[in-house]
Chains A and B, each alone.
Chain A
Amino acid sequence: MELDNVMLSRMLTSMTLAFHIIFATIGVGIPVMISIAEFVGIKKNNNHFLLLARRWARGFTITVAVGVVTGTCIGLQLSMLWPSFMKVAGQVISLPLFMETFAFFFEAIFLGIYLYTWDRFKNKWLHWLLTIPVMIGSSASALFITTVNAFMNTPQGFELKNGKAVNIDPIAAMLNPSTPSKVFHVLTSSYMTSAVLLAAITSFAILRGKRSIYYRSALRLTMICSLVFSLGTALAGDVSAKFLAEVQPEKLAAAEWHFETESNADLILFGTIDENNQIHHAIRLPGMLSFLAGSSFDKKVIGLDDFPKDETPPLWIHYMFDLMVAIGSFVIVLSLVYLIAWRAKKFSEWFKPILWGIAAAGPLSVLAIEFGWIYAEVGRQPWILRGYMKVADAATTGQGVGLTFIIFAILYFILAILTCVVLVRMFKNKPAEAELEKRFNH
């Protein structure tokens, strides 16, 4: 592997995105959770939920800040690292990028208002209403940026003549075939990850001995949301897989180690592959790949052999796909078990293994987001603009990419540590019970 500009640009882009996406995901999902908690709190006139919303919002200010600054980084780095790509694609796809900024703007304004007006309105519902523009703003920015990413996978709405884009239709570019399934999956997975993360934090606190009603209410609420959103995520993932089978078959085939076009194709879970593309130690589910790709065992699934060798993605993305699906299934089962345990009253909902499972599910969901993006992005290789431009032809020719990579690596490392330290300190210094007492019972 040679550390040329292309490789270094890929590394820097990957690093920034991998870091940004954690905070972006949280930024899309947490406002929804805050809104739900405040809604329940006002509706039931229950201070526990109101305090929950308030404490989540306080932590959210930190993650938003990191999301904003890392987003600014990726926004500028796109032009600095991939100038040739932006020069061509900018002609076609800058519309959603532009709209995304408006969505941020809208969100930023109302988030500012929301955070500083907790006790300012006589009618509590007025304050809750402010969460609506915040949710619209953050989900809309996810929607717009995802159309850009979808465009890179299935570009349309232009023609390439002598390296210049002509006959441009920005709306068609935004509404490319990949957009619906991708947006659906990105949104549901963001909501899911945020719900599971909050559940994990609560569960961890309970394991450390906090047992008040406040924590019980929080865990119940977040676990109900986790179940709903993880089911939505799985549904959306299924839609995405069916979409890939139709439109971007090389990505699905690489993820499934599926070489020959055939019907009744097997689904391969985990395993290893040798240099002759022989698969060992894998779990084989007969016919399931056809079922996943087209809801029928007779569905013909296109294999990698139908593509030129230099236009197929690397095969290791198989593991990314499998891990993502495994984590998704784990969270669904886990939240079902928890809810049954609570409802049936047979087991205690404080059952330790379940609590540990929930605590682990938080970080795992974040990993699933990372695996999902790595799968989706590396699965597009070698293309940066599928069918039009390869990654290798798009990187900057400028000097200093390596140095820049090192600078940003250090920066993100420090940011990651400080974010955790600040968040932990923020909640340690103000335990929920004390705050509940101070705010509502004086």
Chain B
Amino acid sequence: MSLEILGISVLWIFLYGYLIIASIDFGAGFFAFYGKISKRDHLINNLISRYLSPVWEVTNVFFVFFFVGLVGFFPDAAYYYGTALLLPGSVSLVLLVIRGSFYAFGNYGSKENSFYLFLYGATGLLIPAALSTALTISEGGFLKEKGSGVEFLAKELFTSPYSWSVVLLAIVSVLFISAAFLTYYADRAGDMPARDVLRKFTLFWSPPTILASFLVFASLHAHNPGHFSKAIQLWWMFGLSLLFFLIASYLILKKKNFGTAFIAVMLQFFFAFFGYGASHLPYILQPFVTVHESITNPTMGTALVVVFIAGLLLLIPSLLLLMKLFLFDADYVKGKK
């Protein structure tokens, strides 16, 4: 495998990791807030907080990892994105800052503050919307090269149907992934009232997820026919994604195997996300940056890969320990520890 494909695969895997665990986190924020205003917080909010408290910082690191890795493996991509995305990037940053700090303030500082909870819930939906525009921009048509730099065409972005369909997909996916995971977590905790509320959330968000996916496909066809036809060549990946979606929804509907159901959700997004990524290649940012031209020098690339492998050897056992203590320890999940 060439260095650039290896590099982009590493980054894509991390982005996928972020997609899953950040979705759980973002959606949980929304459900916690929704639970409060619909007076069901006594049912679900404890459960959500038991899961989130020990892991929120880990979530953020996934994101940091992605953009540091992007600068490392593909410095040119950082140049284009950096120049163009100052304002939209800063908006995402401000939202991330509000979310992270207010989570800590609310959770460790003053309990039961509805305003903190509101910010936490609202940013949970706004951040995926804001971050997903980076993927939209990568499709091309929203940046213009001029003189000494690149210019961001904000108006085009805000009026593009493709851009809005991606935002929609991001939001409903977050809610679906999160609800599916929390249903499983509640089931493990033996917390039936919470499980039933969350299961209903999952079922509620399941059809919109698949509708939004089709919408994205349709608008991609209009916006970037080249990418669309490459995606069609990888039809089997999207087919597998659909299949796992059906399995997950079926299991949750039938109230069984919530663990398997969540794995199916993960696979659903895995195939869709990698199908999307693979058909996007060789471009990182159309038409300015391809993986082949922007890849860093081979010495640095090799060094990064070596560090990456060494890092994984260190992290995987640690992550397993974290999961063993907080996710798979029945007593902790049930609130007895």
Contacts and interface: CB of A to CB of B under 8 A. Distances in A.
14 contacts: A66-B101, A69-B60, A73-B97, A87-B78, A94-B68, A101-B69, A109-B322, A120-B325, A170-B299, A396-B149, A398-B149, A401-B86, A418-B105, A419-B101
Given A86-B75, A87-B76, A94-B75, 6 more contacts: A62-B104, A62-B105, A119-B337, A120-B337, A397-B148, A399-B87
Interface of B: 53-55, 57-58, 60-61, 63-65, 67-69, 71-73, 75-76, 78-87, 89-90, 93-94, 96-98, 100-101, 103-105, 108-110, 148-152, 296-297, 299-300, 303-304, 307-308, 311, 314-315, 318-319, 321-322, 325-326, 337
Contacts of B75: 86-88, 90-91, 94
B325 A117 contact: yes
Contact of B61 (A77, A101, A120, A398): A101
Classify the interface of chain A: helix, strand, loop or mixed.
helix
Contacts of A418: 101, 105
A415 B304 contact: no
A91 B67 contact: no
A313 B75 CA distance: 29
Interface in A90-109: 90-92, 94-95, 97-102, 104-106, 108-109
Contact of A108 (B58, B82, B104, B105): B58
Contacts of A100: 68
A403 B148 contact: no
A81 B86 CA distance: 8
Interface of A: 58, 61-62, 64-66, 68-73, 75-77, 79-84, 86-88, 90-92, 94-95, 97-102, 104-106, 108-113, 115-117, 119-120, 133, 165-166, 168-171, 396-401, 403-404, 407-408, 411, 415, 418-419, 422-423, 425-426
A92 B71 CA distance: 11
A398 B318 contact: no
Contact of A109 (B58, B89, B296): B58
Given A91-B297, A415-B97, A83 B79 contact: yes
B100 to A, nearest CB: 4
Contacts of B109: 62, 422-423, 425-426
B82 A415 contact: no
A69 B101 contact: yes
Nearest to A86: B78
Contact of A397 (B64, B90, B149): B149
Contacts of A86: 71, 75, 78-79, 82
Contacts of A404: 86-87, 90
Given A91-B297, A168-B297, A422-B110, A112 B93 contact: no
A185 B77 CA distance: 35
Contacts of A87: 75-76, 78-79
B67 A76 contact: yes
Please provide the 9 A-B residue pairs with the shortest distance between their CB atoms, ordered closest to farther: A65-B104, A94-B72, A397-B149, A422-B109, A90-B75, A79-B82, A83-B82, A102-B311, A112-B54
A286 B231 CA distance: 76
Contacts of B303: 95, 170-171
Given A69-B101, A168-B297, A90 B71 contact: yes
Contact of A101 (B68, B100, B319): B68
Nearest to B105: A422
Nearest to A70: B97
B301 to A, nearest CB: 10
B57 A97 contact: no
A230 to B, nearest CB: 30
B102 to A, nearest CB: 8
B307 A99 contact: yes
A397 B110 CA distance: 43
Contacts of A66: 101, 104
Contacts of A71: 64
